[in-house]
Amino acid sequence: MTKMILASSNPHKLREFREILEPLGCEVISQHDAGIDADPEETGTTFAENSAIKARAIYNIAKCAVIADDSGLEVDALGGEPGVYSARYGGTRDDIAHNDLVISKLAGVPDEKRTARFVCVITYIDENGAQSQFVGKFEGRIGYEMRGEHGFGYDPIFMVGDISSAEMTPEQKNAVSHRGKALRAFAEFLSSEKK
């Protein structure tokens, strides 16, 4: 059983990481459960940089295998916003305010120009300090209102076909989501390492 610390205490992320990695023989624990109280400043300008900052900060404390991710929403009509500022868009950490802001900024923008994607970059640092990164993208468009009870963040306004990401079941979302894709790429890497 490979044990690794997730550089997050977000229960939604922890659940998603465990669902994909535990069947591969990985025990994933949150940094809180590992007794680490660290909140490194995300000073990077890309998801890859911020993901690495988080992973390296926890690795430097724990000196064991660490996994971290940085993810967010890129809206084409907004020049890639909110991007790396997804969690604090508009100067707040409130999901409803974030969704309202994106919808209001896209007022009058037609369907075909409302394209967007979620991007996730996972950084893995093994017990020896070697770093690897894995990327996943989830394409869709921005809706006109919040819909659905599942998910978090921008899921209620992120449309995939006729449903929002927040209307998908966890299983449906894991099969196509940015984090699911990045995690599966990481899982393939782990499997090949064990051979």
Report DSSP letters for 77-144, one per residue: GGTT-BGGGGGGGGG---HHHHHHHHHHHTTT--GGG-EEEEEEEEEEE-TT--EEEEEEEEEEEE-S
Spatial strand order in the sheet of 2-6: 26-30, 2-6, 66-75, 115-125, 131-142, 158-160, 163-164
Both tokens of 167, joined, read 């209307």
Q: Choosing from 70, 95, 100, 162, which is the catalytic residue?
A: 70
Per the annotation, the verdict on 70 as an active-site residue is yes
**Within 10 Å of residue 160's Cβ, how many Cβ atoms?**
17
Round to the nearest angstrom and report the end-to-end CA distance of the chain.
Answer: 15
- How do the residues of the chain divide into helix, strand and coil, expressed in percent and rounded to 5? 45, 25, 30
Q: Which residues of 34-48 are buried (b: 16+ CB within 10 A; e: fewer)?
A: bebeeeeebebeebb
Rounded Cα–Cα distance for residues 93 and 117 (Å): 20
The residues that are catalytic are 70
